[in-house]
């Protein structure tokens, strides 16, 4: 929206960037704000191009480079990119993997998951607290604090998010009203419901409709 554009321009002005002749430039040097977004697959292009179109509205020129696997892997592992699209996934509750994603020791290690190069002692302290926590409450407190540090560090731009996973399937399956205690059908993953059976009536209806 226009309000969001105005807010973005104001925030960038505070950081030393201004719009001149329709181009976002450094207020001191006059250098334009330009960068490349590296993608691993063309599947991400529609989402990314919508983002670059929005950036153009405030004078920022961003290009999209969809690389083949070998080039993408090399550039990704060696940090040879301006911006890269990446998604994090954690098994609940998160633990030692946090150090590889956000810890200072992994910041300059080629191939590590700390692609943002985060090297923050405060983040390290929260990671250690989460790893050595003895209760779920302690893990939640540490990871919530780490989340706030990462958000306020402005390391990433949220791209898109869905609270559900869409799955297409033949409606011939029965499922329990209450999931078993150790079921792994988490709501925001692509895992299909692991506890199921073929419902004879639904199966017959599908067969009759063909």
Q: Which structural domain range is residue 139 located in?
A: 89-160
116 with 75, same domain: the answer is no
H or E element, residue 131 = helix 121-131
114 with 138, same domain: the answer is yes
Using alpha carbons, list the distances in angstroms from residue 88 to 4, 46, 91, 101, 115.
Answer: 26, 20, 10, 9, 11
183 with 200, same domain: the answer is yes
Residue 136 inside a domain? The answer is yes
Say how far apart CA 4 and CA 10 lie, in whole Å: 10
Of 36, 65, 85, the one marking the end of a domain is 85
**How many structural domains is the chain composed of?**
3
10 with 77, same domain: the answer is yes
CB 65, CB 82: distance < 8 Å: no
Say how far apart CA 151 and CA 9 lie, in whole Å: 20
81 with 148, same domain: the answer is no
Residue 168 inside a domain? The answer is no
Q: What is the pTM of this model?
A: 0.74
Residue 76 inside a domain? The answer is yes
pLDDT in tens, the chain (210 residues): 799 999 999 999 999 999 999 999 999 999 999 999 999 999 999 989 999 999 999 999 999 999 999 999 999 999 999 999 888 877 788 889 999 999 999 999 999 999 999 999 999 999 999 999 999 999 999 999 999 999 999 999 988 777 777 777 788 888 888 777 766 654 444 455 677 889 999 999 988 888
The CATH number assigned to the domain holding 7 equals: 3.10.105.10
Residue positions counted in the chain: 210
Using alpha carbons, list the distances in angstroms from residue 198 to 22, 23, 121, 192.
Answer: 61, 60, 53, 14
φ/ψ of 24, rounded to 5, equals -80, 120
Residue 165 inside a domain? The answer is no
């Amino acid at each position: 929206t226009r309000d969001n554009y105005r807010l973005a321009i104001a925030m960038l002005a505070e950081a030393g960037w201004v719009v001149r002749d329709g181009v976002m430039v450094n207020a001191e040097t006059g250098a334009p704000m330009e960068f490349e977004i590296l993608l691993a697959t063309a599947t991400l292009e529609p989402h990314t191009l919508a983002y670059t179109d929005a950036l153009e509205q405030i004078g920022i020129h961003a290009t999209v480079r969809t690389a083949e696997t070998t080039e993408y892997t090399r550039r990704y592992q060696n940090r040879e990119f301006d911006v890269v699209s990446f998604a994090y996934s954690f098994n609940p509750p998160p633990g030692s993997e946090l150090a590889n994603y956000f810890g200072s020791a992994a910041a300059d290690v080629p191939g590590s998951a700390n692609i943002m190069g985060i090297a923050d002692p405060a983040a390290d302290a929260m990671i250690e607290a989460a790893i050595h926590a003895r209760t779920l409450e302690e893990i939640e407190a540490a990871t919530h604090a780490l989340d706030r540090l990462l958000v306020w560090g402005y390391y990433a731009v949220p791209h898109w998010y869905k609270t559900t996973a869409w799955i297409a399937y033949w409606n011939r399956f029965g499922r329990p009203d209450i999931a078993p205690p150790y079921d792994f059908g988490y709501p925001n993953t692509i895992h299909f419901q692991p506890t199921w059976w073929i419902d004879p009536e639904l199966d017959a209806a599908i067969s009759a409709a063909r």
